[in-house]
Structure 1
């Protein structure tokens, strides 16, 4: 185990400089670990409790906590390296002797892998990008064609993305027994599809898997699994899988992309000038722009009417289904045909499947500590897990640059420890500290 910890100690993440750092004008975000005062919650009470929703406020730039020329506090002359070490020590103290820590991760842990987020300081939502909404995809053939045409160009960087220090550190912490909760008494675990547990698409259930959860992630990039985390619940699904909305058949997204490319080769040739097809990056004003859902900007005025979406080969071609999923007569029906594929992802406006909720709740109940990493907890599906833990008296640590929903609601002041520090550096440093402790014993 000593060697396994050691290989994560070297290297630091590099964040870009920003006007936020130079101006130093958002003093309320200066780096520190804290509990916090009650603040009113600014979100609409009309939003459905289980839906994914879009952000309202822009958080600070992570580089504010990492630049060599920026002190961590107005009266603190220490450099950021010492500041990160201090934040890491606070996290280590919070861990103590806990051995049932549940990690909840969001997009912030993957930004160091080159995958952008929606709600970060430079998140795509604050740059004018609007992601597809669930009801648009389900009810509009036009939106489905548009989604897949643009995704076909913009998704490849996500396929090629590699785990960063943060993902790798969590894998090592899991292997060392520092994170993970036992779900031995959770019958709902057996009813989960193994795909949302990071298992291969051809595994049909979770019955042969250990009843354990180490990480609950809101991300759909599967980077935790790539890094070696064995027990990861993908709360919002996986972007590398697609599912037929009629029969439920699942297949690999890459295979579907290959089929789309073959069927639409001529269309793509006319729609992708100005796009670097080797990487899928969108070229705008000489700069590459990625979006968190793999959406790519194609030529202006391009028509999606001729883009071909193949139906599911497992479904009966003679069967049509209405919007409730009921079969109807092909010759007499004008209802929408539902034999189409959708990524196995919870789109904005959709709800997390109940069984995933039940298992995630059981994981919270089995934990003696909850570590939130890189998430604003804006989405209710993640926020309600943390709230559930706090209501049960479970200590919570939040490693995230920017204010979270927990802070805005003033939830669990005495139970919550907040850290603002680069995720990869901090978790990597935590692994190093634990390794050093083992060597000193």
Structure 2
């Protein structure tokens, strides 16, 4: 399984949301169910590519969904890689807004053989030396260094950020490497950065060894995800997409169903497995 988008889970009871993050959609019909059932039973080895849209039904927004995605609801944009590396203030803003942490959603759900295409926030690395630490361990230090951080956060974003005031941001103490005092960065591929070459090769090999590709909750706008579909089609693989909105690969996919994942997948699993 490929995890394309950056996903997270939070205590939704504590952070109840008045905003619905699932975009407008039509309910699935019997034809949708039968089409995907046939697809899933036809192939023995299917590569599954998930994006941020896989989590919208859990109250976690994505970036690009019409009317309800981050870009539609605010003028905030994700932090760029070069800005994070260059500017301490940008790193301070990132860590302050990413204070609630990064549990691994797919791993918590029991998924096996997960390739985190765009990395994971669960691991944090120093930009200047080989030091790395789990986000769980780092969280303890963040809490010690920032005891006055409020738990009543505003808007939550697909990359794990939350809305804070400028005052909260300015007094936040960013984490530093305990070995060399260099800046720490989560092991994720920021916007403007590249997916590591080794990981790209691993993904390419997985595509080649699979019989089909199933896309769930991704617009495939980012090229690192879209090129997976391009490779699959070059190798004559069948591609199915389950995503509410349009995707970059709609014109080359063999199957495109525009409805909510949660309205089809549970029933498909109970029927097939």
TM-score of the aligned structures, taking structure 2 as reference length: 0.85
| Structure 1 residue aligned with 2:159 | 293
State the SS of the aligned residue for 1:314: coil
Aligned to 2:174: 309
Q: Does structure 1 conserve the Cα–Cα contact (< 8 Å) formed by 2:25 and 2:244?
A: no
Q: Which residue of structure 1 aligns with residue 70 of structure 2?
A: 124
Q: 1:380 to 1:303 in 2, by over 3 A?
A: closer
Measure the CA separation in 2 of the matches of 1:115 and 1:62: 12
Structure 1 residues 147 and 431: alpha-carbon distance in aligned structure 2, compared to 1, 3 A threshold: same
Shift of 1:290: 1.2
* Preserved contact between residue 243 and residue 249 of structure 1 (Cα < 8 Å): yes
Q: Distance in 2 between matches of 1:93 and 1:312?
A: 51
In 2, distance between residues paired with 1:429 and 1:93? 14
1:345–1:300 Cα change, 3 Å = same
Look up the match of 1:350.
193
Q: Is the CA contact (8 Å cut-off) linking 1:101 and 1:367 kept in structure 2?
A: yes
Deviation (angstroms), 1:17: 10
Q: CA deviation at 1:240?
A: 1.9
Residue-pair matches, total = 254
Q: 2:139 corresponds to which residue?
A: 257
Match of 1:106 in 2: 51
**Structure 1 residue 149 corresponds to structure 2 residue 110:** no
Q: Is the 8 A contact 1:62 1:421 kept in 2?
A: no
Q: Counterpart in 2 of 1:392?
A: 235
Given that 2:81 and 2:190 are in contact with CA atoms closer than 8 Å, whether structure 1 keeps it comes out as: yes
Task: Give the distance between the partners of 2:244 and 2:25, measured in 1 at CA.
Answer: 9
Matches within 5 A, 1:56-95: 62-66=23-27, 83=29, 85-95=30-40
What secondary structure does 2:82 align onto?
helix
Mapped to 2, the partners of 1:241 and 1:281 lie a distance apart of 23
Q: What secondary structure does 1:65 align onto?
A: coil
Instruction: Give the Å deviation of 1:249.
Output: 2.1
Structure 1: tracts of 5 or more residues without a match: 1-15, 19-59, 67-79, 160-221, 283-288, 318-338, 436-441
Counterpart position of 1:383: 226
Q: CA deviation at 1:234?
A: 0.3
Partner SS for 1:382 = helix
- Cα RMSD of the aligned pairs, angstroms, is 2.3
What does residue 55 of structure 1 align with? none
Partner of 2:215: 372
Does the 8 A contact of 2:97 with 2:169 survive in 1? no
Q: CA contact under 8 A between 1:89 and 1:430: conserved in structure 2? A: no
Counterpart residue number, 1:47 = none
| Alignment deviations for residues 206-230 of structure 1 (CA, whole Å, 9 cap, x no partner) | xxxxxxxxxxxxxxxx211111111
Alignment partner of 1:372: what SS?
strand
Change (3 A) 1:303 1:116: closer
Indicate the structure (1 or 2) with the bigger Cα radius of gyration.
1
| C-alpha distance in structure 2 between counterparts of 1:416 and 1:291, whole Å | 32
Q: How do 1:319-334 and structure 2 match up within 5 A?
A: none
Deviation at 1:134, TM superposition (A): 0.8
* C-alpha contact 1:100 1:368 (8 A) present in aligned 2: yes
Give the alignment of 1:138-287 within 5 angstroms.
138-152=85-99, 155=100, 159=103, 222-265=104-147, 268=148, 272=150, 277=151, 281-282=153-154
Unaligned runs of 5+ in 2: 1-17
**What's the secondary structure of 2:98's corresponding residue?**
helix
Cα deviations across residues 408-434 of structure 1 (Å, max 9, x unaligned)?
xx3x3xx61111121022111111221
TM-score normalised by structure 1 residue count = 0.54
Conservation of the 8 A alpha-carbon contact between 1:107 and 1:374: yes
Q: Could you list the per-position Cα deviations for residues 318-357 of structure 1 after superposition, in whole angstroms to 9, with x for gaps in the alignment?
A: xxxxxxxxxxxxxxxxxxxxx1111111111111111110
Contact 2:22 2:56 in 1 (8 A): no
2:41 and 2:217 map into 1 onto residues whose CA distance is 21
